């Protein structure tokens, strides 16, 4: 499932085509994806100016002139593809419609934005922009890891007294919004913290040091266009390439990349997810 860097990469790719543009027509080609589309979704989107695109956790939010916001969740295999951009960034012709092109936005510039989702685990919703913080998917989210409210004192307090593993705590969207399995594994490696260690055992010093490491991992991934392991593509159709920089994720049995460490990367299953780490230098 796309994590924060992939969603942010998608948002940045959509911005030049959608920010300030008008959706002249919205085609909704099925009644649902992960759940039913909101009533009259095509009519509510058609003719609307996109005031701006933002990201909250793993969701893209398009604020509309109507006072509503469109929420987009990519799910397991969803991707937003752009064609026909007259600015030249996506100058290739519109492709023929595909079986899994579920929602299509025709922009007043002549560009077309297509939401393609073979597995149909993605989702879209429309709601009043002013009520965004009350939306069921957004109301309980923690701070953004790239935002100012995520800092050492916050993380120290959030982890204090928790008996769960630090890996599980960092994946809890109520504690930090947007972190997923890949980037938690990578951040914990850079911090030298075992994913098996109890969250409540992380000292204030190590928690404070973990904050900039998480930021750096996410920033590096965004600059690389995200990670393409199965289905993820950028809005241009290109693959992300941060997966070529993984230190531990997916490297079970391979040598640890930390200078001076003679360990190998191991794998443990935590809450049904694989944790990759070096048992020698991560404590």
Q: C-alpha angle with apex 259: 258 to 261, nearest 5 degrees?
A: 70
Distance (Å, whole) CA 51 – CA 259 = 48
pLDDT at 94 over 90: no
Write the CATH number for 189. Answer: 1.10.8.50
Q: Does 188 lie in the same domain as 130?
A: no
Residue 143 domain-assigned (yes or no): no
pLDDT value at residue 83: 87
Q: Which of 11, 58, 233, 251 is catalytic?
A: 58
Structural domain total, the chain: 2
Q: Does 94 lie in the same domain as 160?
A: no
Give one DSSP letter per residue of 15-60, joined into a string. Answer: HHHHTT-BEEEEEE-SSBSSSBPPTTHHHHHTT-BEEEEEEETTEE
Domain's final residue, options 85, 103, 134: 134
Residue 271 domain-assigned (yes or no): no
- Residue written as tokens 């064609």? 83
pLDDT at 180 over 70: yes
Q: Does 123 lie in the same domain as 10?
A: yes
Residue 41 domain-assigned (yes or no): yes
Residue 167 domain-assigned (yes or no): yes
Reply yes or no on whether 58 is catalytic: yes
Nearest to 22 by CA among 51, 43, 45, 48: 48
Q: Does 128 lie in the same domain as 8?
A: yes
Compute the mean pLDDT over every residue in the chain, rounded to the nearest whole number.
Answer: 90
Q: Does 235 lie in the same domain as 207?
A: yes
Domain's final residue, options 134, 160, 181: 134
Residue 203 domain-assigned (yes or no): yes
Domain that holds residue 112: 4-134
Calculate mean pLDDT across residues 118-144.
96
Q: Does 123 lie in the same domain as 8?
A: yes
Domain's final residue, options 134, 167, 189: 134
The answer for residues whose C-beta is within 8 angstroms of residue 280's C-beta and 6 or more apart is 256, 261, 262, 263
Q: Which of 34, 197, 198, 273 is catalytic?
A: 273
Q: Does 198 lie in the same domain as 84?
A: no
Q: Does 92 lie in the same domain as 51?
A: yes
Distance (Å, whole) CA 87 – CA 103 = 23
CA dist 7 → 28, 53, 62, 78, 162 (Å): 22, 12, 13, 11, 29
Reply yes or no on whether 273 is catalytic: yes
Helix/strand/coil percentages in the chain, nearest 5: 30, 25, 50
Q: Which of 3, 6, 68, 186 is catalytic?
A: 3
Sign of the torsion formed by the C-alpha atoms of 86, 87, 92 and 96:
negative
| Three-state secondary-structure class, residue 80 | strand
pLDDT at 227 over 80: no
End-to-end Cα spacing for the chain:
28
Most confident of 94-98, 195-199, 268-272: 195-199
pLDDT class for 85, splitting at 50, 70, 90?
low
Q: Does 76 lie in the same domain as 158?
A: no
Residue 50 domain-assigned (yes or no): yes
Residue 258 domain-assigned (yes or no): no
Q: Whole-prediction pTM value?
A: 0.89
pLDDT at 228 over 50: no
Write the CATH number for 14. Answer: 3.20.190.10
Of the candidate ranges 87-96, 151-160, 174-183, 263-272, the one whose mean pLDDT is the lowest:
87-96
Residue 184: left if φ>0, alpha if ψ -120 to 50, beta else—which one? alpha
| Three-state secondary-structure class, residue 183 | helix
Residue 189 domain-assigned (yes or no): yes
Q: C-alpha angle with apex 37: 65 to 105, nearest 5 degrees?
A: 50
Strand pairing report for 23-28 and 123-128: unpaired
């Amino acid at each position: 499932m796309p994590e924060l860097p992939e969603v942010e990469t998608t948002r940045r790719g959509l911005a030049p085509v959608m920010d300030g543009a008008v959706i002249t027509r919205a085609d909704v080609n099925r009644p649902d994806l992960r759940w039913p589309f909101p009533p009259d979704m095509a009519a509510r989107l058609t003719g609307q100016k996109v005031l701006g695109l933002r990201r909250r956790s793993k969701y893209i939010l398009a604020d509309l002139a109507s006072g509503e916001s469109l929420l987009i969740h990519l799910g397991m295999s969803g991707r937003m593809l752009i064609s026909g951009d007259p600015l030249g960034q996506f100058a290739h012709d519109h492709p023929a419609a595909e079986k899994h092109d579920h929602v299509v936005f025709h922009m007043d510039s002549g560009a077309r934005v297509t939401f393609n989702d073979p597995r149909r685990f993605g989702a879209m919703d429309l709601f009043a922009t002013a009520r965004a913080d009350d939306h069921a998917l957004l109301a309980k989210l923690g701070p953004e890891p790239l935002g100012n409210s995520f800092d050492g004192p916050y993380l120290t307090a959030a982890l204090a007294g928790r008996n769960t593993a630090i890996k599980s705590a960092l994946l809890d969207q109520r504690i930090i919004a947007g972190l997923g399995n890949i980037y938690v594994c990578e951040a914990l490696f850079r911090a030298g913290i075992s994913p098996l260690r109890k969250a409540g055992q992380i000292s204030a010093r190590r928690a404070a040091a973990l904050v900039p490491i998480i930021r750096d991992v996410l920033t590096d991934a965004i600059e690389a266009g995200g990670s393409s392991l199965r289905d993820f593509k950028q809005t241009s159709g290109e693959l992300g390439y941060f997966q070529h920089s993984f230190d531990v994720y997916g490297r079970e049995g391979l040598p640890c990349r930390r200078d001076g460490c003679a360990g190998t990367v191991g794998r443990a299953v935590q809450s049904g997810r694989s944790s990759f780490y070096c048992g020698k230098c991560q404590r």
